[in-house]
Amino acid sequence: MHELSIVASVVDSVTESLAAYPGARVKEVRLRVGVLASVIEDSLHFCYGIAIEGTRLEGSKLVIQILPVIARCDHCNADVELAGLQSFRCPRCGEPVNDLRQGRELDIDSIEIEDAEETVTP
């Protein structure tokens, strides 16, 4: 439900970063989104198309990397990946896991930009 405001924040942050690259064209914006981040991938894409209109991000592609939950299992003394969100237990030993190491991310990872062509004087 709040994907539009999330995407609007992405557009703002990327626009701010672009100040250092005058004239550059944005090709891709790459996000890292944990499965516990409470956002829907399709909605992000849908909202992105609307939010970039008339900005320096117009024409760019949104790439979303979805991250599974990784939790610390004290019993196995290892970081383990959970298969889904229906059970917060170690897939190896079945013990409950509380200490999450990954899964809540809602980050801008990087952007791919194309620098402006150098002005060639005839």
Q: Which residues bind another protein (CB under 8 A)?
A: 1-2, 5-6, 9-10, 13-14, 17, 21, 27, 31, 36-39, 85-89, 96-98, 100, 104, 106-115, 117
Q: Which is nearer to another protein, 117 or 122 (CB)?
A: 117
Q: Which is nearer to another protein, 59 or 96 (CB)?
A: 96
Number of continuous H segments (helices) and E segments (strands) in the chain = 2, 6
Q: Which is nearer to another protein, 6 or 67 (CB)?
A: 6
Return the closest-CA partner of residue 32 out of 106, 113, 91. 106
Calpha distance 16→39 (Å, rounded): 23
